[in-house]
Each structure stands twice: as C-alpha cells, then as structure tokens.
Structure 1
Amino acid sequence: MTDTAMGRVAEATPPGVARRIRGLSDRAIAWIFVAPTIFLLLAVNIFPLIWTIRLSFTNFRANRPNAEVESVGLRNYQRILTDADVWATMQATAHFLFWTLFFQVLLGFALAWLINRKFRHSDLWTTIIVLPMMLSPAVVGNFWTFLYQPQIGLFNYAVEFLTGVPATSFSMIGEVSLAPWAIVIVDTWMWTPFVMLICLAGLRSIPESIYEAAECDRASPWRQFWTITVPMVLPFLMLAVLFRGIENFKMFDLVVQLTGGGPGNTTTLTSIDLKREAFEKWRTGYSSAYAIVLFVTVFGLASIYVKALNKVKER
C-alpha cells in the first residue's frame, strides 16, 4: 500500500476508533485477528468432543430423543473393553494398518528413489503415478469392484493365470481369507503416490555436496545409500507414515464401497463398527464411548510417534 493510500485510510478512520487502535499493542491487534479463528475451532472441534464425552456416560439413543436419559457411569467403556467382537475389529484394523503402511512405504520410497534419478520423461511418469490419489474413494471403489468381479474382472483372470483357479468361480472380495488383502491392494494402489511425493521431497532436499564428499572418501553407492540417503529421508518417511496411519485408522468409504464390511467380519474396521453402532443400532451413548476409546488410542499412539519423530529430526 502506498503512502498516499495509507494517508487516505487514516483520514477516513473516525477519530475515536483511531485513538483506540493507537492505544493497542501489537499483541492485542494480533489477538483481534486470531480470535475469530480460535472461536470457530473451539465451536467445531472442542464442543462436539465435550458433548460426546458427556453422552458416553449415558444410555442416550438418538432415535429416541424424548426417552429418559439415564447415567450409566463407566458401563459403556467396560462393555467395549471386554467385548470380544470389538477386539476382533481392532485386530482387523491393526492388520489393515500394518500391511498398507508397509507396502506404501516400500513402494513409495522405491518410486521416489527411481524418479529422483531424473531419467528421460521422469516428469511425465511422476504425473502418471500420482493420478490414483487424485480420484475420489467412491470412484476407486467402483473401479476396483469391477476388476474383482468373478465373471469379467481383469484381476481375477490374472489370478487364474497364476494359480489355475477358474476366474468364474473366484472372487477376491468374496473370499473370507482374501477380502482384507483386496482392500490392502486398493489402498496401496491409491495412496502409494502420496508417500512417494513426500519421500521425493526428502531426497531432493539432500545437498549434492554430501554425496560428493562421500565419493571423495571412496564410499560405495551402497554405503552412501545407507549412511546418507536413508537417515536424511527418514524424517520425511516417518511423517508420511504418521499421515497415512491416521487416515487409514479412519478408513470407511473405500472399505464399504468394496466389501460393505464383509464377508463375515473380516473387513469390519473400527470406523465401520462405530457407524453400525451409532446409525444402525442407534446406541448413541455406547457409540460415543466407542469414539472416545478410539480417539484416546489414536491420540496416544500419535503423541508417542511424534516424540520419536522429533528425536530423529534432532540427530
């Protein structure tokens, strides 16, 4: 803003307002601008959390708003922590988390390392690789459901070629033992590019002078990889694991689109189980306690992980 424009703004400001503004410190002015955002965050995040905690100690049902609400103490939490089905759901979620993160980190880092070599048309290949993460989960779910179809699914014919099992009698999303792996494959296909981009940023942040110094010391490419590349990319890799771990813990739409939470309960993740309790069985108090248990679990694990990440960054 030019001096002339600033002068016009100052002249247009009422004298009383101008005196009050001049009397405010920079800190007070900063709070004036930040306060609406803080208030909005409190309204959107903190209030629902407090309300959920309150409901978790009651037998409230959302489909019976006029029914008498009774306090049940810690009964909802006790039922959750002693329910074998809940622990089976937790186990299925942990299985999904581990294998998706394992494959996404492995493939994402490998792709980032290859693209960082800057071969011919590397920019074009980067664009092609990131296309899956630009699609919505609904589109990806429908696309892969088509691929998994017994009669026309291209994926099934590939399985028939490798195993000899007739494609018309085989459905990966219909097999109890294979349905979880079907979801792992789809999520890995969709989100490996995200991990690749973060790893690529880490690789390109490493100064070339470090590699030149290592070559002067006659360090082999393999030793450079393990002593320079991996340690310096590790914080980026851990950050990608944190983001994907939190997102996959909340995975819902893709699983429902592919399997609907079946067959059986093999692909029933905690998010799907929570949705059933809240909006199919209408056990709002119980589902509120369930949500708090999941929140504490994610928050606790994420806090421990962030501390480990900070220690890695300080090295």
Structure 2
Amino acid sequence: MPDTPMDRLARATPQQLSRRVRGLSDRAIAWVFVAPTILLLLAINIFPLIWTIRLSFTNYAANKPNAEVKWVGLRNYQRILTDPDIWATMQATAHFLIWTIVFQVILGFGLAWLINRKFKGNDLLTTLIVLPMMLSPAVVGNFWTFLYEPQIGLFNYAVEALTGIPASSFTMLGSVPLAPWAIVIVDTWMWTPFVMLICLAGLRSIPDYIYEAAEVDRASKWRQFWTMTVPMVLPFLMLAVLFRGIENFKMFDLVVQLTGGGPGDTTLLTSIELKREAFEKWRTGYSSAYAIILFVTVFGLASIYVKALNKVKDR
C-alpha cells in the first residue's frame, strides 16, 4: 500500500501530542480551530466598542494624553441630544439616506426588469451598467467634480440645454439648495447597479410555471406584476434597502471628495461631523458618546427592519 501524505504527517506528529488529539471530542477539536478567530474578533470589534463606551463618560482628549481624565457621567450624551447643530446634521443625513434609497430602488428594479427580458446585447448592457459600482469613491468623486465644474462641467451644459440657465453661472456643488442633490445624484449613479443585481437575482428566482399558470387563468400582465412579481421580489428589495441604508448612514468618503461637508452645513453628514469632533476639535470623550448614539440608532433600526424582513420572507 503506497505511503500517503497523511501517513507521513501522522508519523511526524509527536506521540504525546497525538494521544492528546485522539482524546479530544469533535466539539473540542472544533473549538480549537474556532477559538483563534473568536479571539481576533473580540480584539478587533468588541474591545474597541467597550473602550469607546468607557471614554464616552469622560472628558478625555486624545491630543492631551497626560491631562487629567475626569468622569462626567451622562453629560456628553445630554449635550449631544440637546445640540441643534447635531439635529441639523441628522436631518441632512436623513435627507441623503431617504432620497438615495428611493431613487436606487426605483431605478435598480426598473433596470433589473429590463435586463430580465433577455434581449440581444443583454450581457453587454449589464456589464456597462455595473461599471460605476466597480470604481472607488475617490475616482467617482473626482470624475463628478469635473462634471459639476461651472466652466467646463458637462453636467452644467446639459442643464443649460434643458433649462436655458447659462452653464457658466450654474453650479451644483457651490449652491446651498443644490449641493445635497448633487451628492444624491452621484451616489445613485454609483450604487444603483448594486440594487439592480439583487433585484435581478430575485426576478430570476421566480419559477416560470407560476406565470404559465397565470396565463392559463387569463391574468393580465399588470395583475401578474402586482400579485406575483412584486411579492416574490419584495424580500430581495428589502435586503437591498438594508444594505444601502447601513452604507449610506455612514457615508463619508464620497461626500468629502465632492464638497467637504459644504457649502455651509447642507451636506454635513453624521460621519463627517463625528470626524471633525474627534480629529479636528479633539473632543474624544464627546465624539465617543456621539459614536455610541449612532451605533445604537443604526443597530436598533436594523434590528427592527430585519424582523420585518423575516416576516415578509415567511409569508
């Protein structure tokens, strides 16, 4: 019988260690392999969270490591929840979050419905649509900054052609009412393909025989869409909303690349405000409390949403 690698490995294992391994149960062996990963996750995720919670009750400043750290209790949380500027930032974040999700769901589902028709050039069109999602936010930010330029921006010339407003006097990023919408347009352009792919997976999971049975019962296309397609794709749509909602709530890089949080505070999202408090004003304890409030908000809303998603899936 030929000598296998396992045989050679068994001979190379010290006898004392071999006897210990043979004496372990399957559960114990599983824990031996899983334990390093659990310890790594605890070190990377759990410990920083606990440390942040501790700092949120103090006046600690990272740029003054030798200063006396005082316990302030719930004062940081009280100041955050009663600060009108913080609530204005929350409002700007909610505006960005809601409109990006609405546009991405509508456009993403529409594109998925179109591509699911399976026509000539379907694969090429799918590849072209998915391209924006493959780019980094830094590249997308620079690309759209040039498009929004008042003098040379192609976007402004398109607006001039549609509205008659001179392109040289029209600016998206520098306008207080238009800057938030400029970011919504860019994020929608970049991440609609992601929603489209999830919706496409949902559409292609629907068996053909269901539509064939509906045709036999003489159900109209409109009735098939609302009573069959939408209910079956709804869990996929809700999953896409969950992913995009969490990502857009912590949006940072694309907004900074385009506007830096301006003009004024119109595009100052919670993630940007948190960065300013922590690394520009060096209010580490205050920013830690802010981070905990954001974490609890996202975790709570996501938990409620996941329960609703599970109820939809179980229907």
How does the TM-score come out when normalised to structure 1? 0.98
Q: In structure 1, how many angstroms separate the alpha carbons of the residues matched to 2:244 and 2:3?
A: 49
Deviation at 1:7, TM superposition (A): 2.8
1:185-196 counterparts in 2 under 5 A? 185-196=185-196
Deviation, 1:13, is 2.1
Match of 2:202 in 1: 202
Summarize the alignment of residues 85-96 of structure 1 with structure 2, pairs less than 5 Å apart: 85-96=85-96
Superimposed CA distance per residue, residues 182-218 of structure 1 (whole angstroms, 9 cap, x where no aligned partner):
0000000000000000111111111111111111111
Letter in 1 for 2:190: M
Q: CA–CA distance in 1 between the matches of 2:30 and 2:3?
A: 23
For residues 170 and 65 of structure 1, what CA distance do their matches in structure 2 show? 48
1:243 matches 2:211: no
1:172 is paired with a residue of what secondary structure? coil
Counterpart residue number, 2:215: 215
Which shows bigger deviation, 235-244 or 209-218? 209-218
Unaligned segments of structure 2, at least 5 residues = none
Q: Tell me which residue corresponds to 1:111.
A: 111
Between 1:13-22 and 1:179-188, the stretch displaced more is 13-22
Deviates more, 1:194-203 or 1:217-226: 217-226
Distance 1:39 1:148 in 2: 47
Equivalent residue number for residue 264 of structure 1: 264
Q: Work out the CA distance in 2 between the residues paired with 1:3 and 1:158.
A: 74
- 1:11-30 to structure 2, matched below 5 A, reads 11-30=11-30
- Paired with 2:279 and 2:7, the residues of 1 have a C-alpha distance of 59
Question: What is the one-letter code of the residue matched to 1:312?
Answer: V
Letter in 1 for 2:120: R
3-state SS in 2 of match to 1:34: helix
Unpaired runs of 5+ in structure 1? Answer: none
Alignment-derived partner of residue 66 in structure 2: 66
Alignment of 1:1-315 (within 5 A): 4-315=4-315
CA–CA separation in structure 2 for the residues paired with 1:31 and 1:212: 50
- 1: CA distance, partners of 2:220 / 2:14: 72
Report the AA paired with residue 307 of structure 1: K
Distance 1:85 1:146 in 2: 31
Question: Take 1:66 and 1:16, find their aligned partners in 2: how far apart are those partners?
Answer: 51
TM-score (norm 2): 0.98
Aligned residue for 1:70, secondary structure, equals coil
Cα distance, 1:3–1:96 mapped onto 2, change above 3 Å: farther
CA distance in structure 1 between the partners assigned to 2:196 and 2:141 by the alignment: 22
Number of aligned residue pairs: give it: 314
C-alpha separation in 2, matches of 1:129 and 1:262: 30
- Provide the alpha-carbon RMSD of the alignment: 1.1
Q: CA deviation at 1:5?
A: 3.2
User: Matched residues in 1 for 2:25 and 2:209: separation?
Assistant: 46
| Shift in Å, 1:3 | 8.3
Q: Could you report, residue by residue, the CA deviation over 1:142-179 in whole angstroms, capped at 9, with x for unpaired residues?
A: 00000000000000011112222111111011110010
Q: Distance in 2 between matches of 1:172 and 1:14?
A: 71
Paired with 1:160 and 1:172, the residues of 2 have a C-alpha distance of 13
Q: Determine the C-alpha separation between the residues in 2 that align with 1:238 and 1:3.
A: 55
CA distance in 2, matches of 1:314, 1:26: 34
Deviations 1:101-125 (A, max 9, x none): 0000000000001001111010110
Distance in 1, matches of 2:178 and 2:152, equals 18
Structure 1 CA distance, aligned partners of 2:217 and 2:14?
A: 70
